[in-house]
Amino acid sequence: MLAIAGQQLTGAGTDLEFSVRLSRAGVSSSGRFTCWTGSDPAAVGRIALLLGAPAPVLAAHAGAELPVRQGIGIDASGPVVQYRLYLHGRDPATLGARYLSWRWHRGGAGASAAVYSFHFLPETGSGLRPVRLVPPSARPALRLLLASDWLRECSGFWLRRTAGGVVDEVDLAFPWHPLAGSLSGLAALADLLGVGAGWQDLPVRHVALRLTSGDPVVTLYVRGPCSGALPVSEAELRERAVAGARSQGERVSAHVLDRVSALPVPMPLPRQRASRRLDRFYGGDLATWRQVLGPALHYHHGLFDSSQPADTDSEPDFAAALDRAVTELYPFIPAARPLYDIGCGWGGPLAMWIRDLRCPSLGLTISRAQFRYVSSLGLPVRWGDAERTLPPGHFDCAVLLESFEHIVAKRRLLEVLRMFAGRLVMRVNCQDRSPPSAAFGGTMHMISSASLRDLLEAAGWRIVHWRDRRAEAIPSVACWHARSARADLAPDAHLEALRTWSARVLTRPATWAAANPLIEVVAEPAARVRP
């Protein structure tokens, strides 16, 4: 296959990958490799044709939508040589990851298909967790693998399903390419299988556990970029893949992990109690919150054309104001570029970034109920605490639409985001005429607009846009108050906090608005961080 690939693919934009398998039979380290490309999908189709891919496989390749990366691979470790096609693209509607694979052999009657789905830890939108899927004997070792701080904070797992929908493999992703021997969970799996040496020095990108046998079969994947011409032998491919993987791992450690660890403000201590409280507070009954927020479930202030809407309970008026609050941010958001929506709530704005701007987006919410709902819509979303996770890669824009208020270690989050985002777009509820305090049922940690400006600049951001939107937003309070006062709503601590807060604001709305600006701010990384 390497000879065929060498005639079709160039080294530019190509990754080289090989795998090593651990099982009761020992270590199997040859015969399985893949070439990946993100720049020349047509070449992958030509190679598949030369390798005798059946018509359904060729049709799937020809019909692939929004390709990201494609791979062509071989498994010559068994009695019959098997070829593989991997198609990694985006769903046209949600722009979420879509990953399919096919396997065939020359002269075979057809091809077997599989579907891969990626999920951030700890679980899928339906509540599946990796440890529940593996055989009981492998669970202690898998728990050790899952205990990795970096894995929990910035990565997750793939599930592979057969054409019949059966999950037959769990694949953990390690984007920093750690040495296999440094992962105590892998050592425990090797002990379970009675496997000796021959794998510890590999810089692994993925660790897969096959679930269809009594004992797990563990596959370690090594992947690195190819520079120059493609290798001419499997031995050369392995050598260059290892070198590329080690180089990538060093870059990730130096430019991300080491810098995050060295931040002057450390990662907040585990705060499970606070996270669980926010999770419960911002969950609640979906039907109730539809009545309060409207069918699109936007939970942020709307922007009205006048200071007093004609009807505070008018669905069209409020819906238009909520949409306007999102669309007026569009000029600040790079279209068709990756976006991280931190505090995405029930997903209303997230759906709009994707639909209108075609931004490949990822939402983050601390509420499990919100996570499951947004996931059920097919939108890319992650369940986690923004203070205990890292963005999983670089985003052209990070958006915090009235979610920065919930952050305790605000400067630390801003410094982390400067490493992962090319632009910051926020609306922040500020408190200018009272000292910093907790508000809204103790869930919001309020600061003044002057402190917000100081925090941004101290964390290395350069402010390019600053505007108070409170005058246009204040009618939202009357809308929420009228809706939350409906007698048919189920009891809810969050709902009660909304009723209490809105009633207090409406006693003197103009005075409250003057003291509590809603700051719309856009910032970009500054050249230098202020000491």
SS3 call for 434: coil
pLDDT at 399 over 90: yes
In a domain, 354, yes or no: yes
* Domains identified in the chain, total number: 2
In a domain, 485, yes or no: yes
Residues 158 and 286 occupy one common structural domain: no
Residues 254 and 287 occupy one common structural domain: no
In a domain, 266, yes or no: no
Residues 171 and 193 occupy one common structural domain: yes
Provide the pLDDT confidence category of residue 310 given band limits of 50, 70 and 90.
Answer: very low
In a domain, 531, yes or no: no
Q: What's the pLDDT score for residue 311?
A: 52
Q: E strands, 91-132, where?
A: 97-104, 112-120
Residues 300 and 418 occupy one common structural domain: yes
C-alpha distances out from residue 488 to 255, 280, 292, 315, 518, Å? 53, 21, 11, 18, 31
Q: What's the pLDDT score for residue 81?
A: 94
Residues 232 and 146 occupy one common structural domain: yes
Provide the pLDDT confidence category of residue 151 given band limits of 50, 70 and 90.
Answer: very high
SS3 call for 259: helix
Last residue of a domain, one of 261, 286, 304: 261
Last residue of a domain, one of 197, 226, 261: 261
Q: Which of 127, 96, 485 lies closest to 313 in space, CA to CA?
A: 485
251: domain range?
2-261
Residues 370 and 238 occupy one common structural domain: no
Which tops the pLDDT comparison, 163 or 9? Answer: 163
State the average pLDDT over residues 228-257: 91
In a domain, 497, yes or no: yes
pLDDT at 10 over 80: no
State the average pLDDT over residues 71-83: 93
Report yes or no: 179 and 149 within 8 Å, Cβ to Cβ. Answer: no
Mean pLDDT for the chain?
92
Residues 311 and 205 occupy one common structural domain: no
Taking the C-alpha atoms of residue 302 and residue 77, their distance in angstroms, rounded to an integer, is 60
In a domain, 48, yes or no: yes
Q: What's the pLDDT score for residue 112?
A: 94
Strand partners, 341: 363, 399
Last residue of a domain, one of 226, 261, 296: 261
Residues 219 and 299 occupy one common structural domain: no
SS3 call for 137: helix
Residues 300 and 362 occupy one common structural domain: yes
Residues 6+ apart with CB under 8 A from 57: 48, 85, 102, 104, 111
In a domain, 530, yes or no: no
Residues 95 and 134 occupy one common structural domain: yes
Residues 234 and 316 occupy one common structural domain: no
Residues 215 and 76 occupy one common structural domain: yes
State the average pLDDT over residues 459-471: 97
Residue 180 per-residue DSSP state: G
- In CATH, what number is assigned to the domain containing residue 335? 3.40.50.150
In a domain, 267, yes or no: no
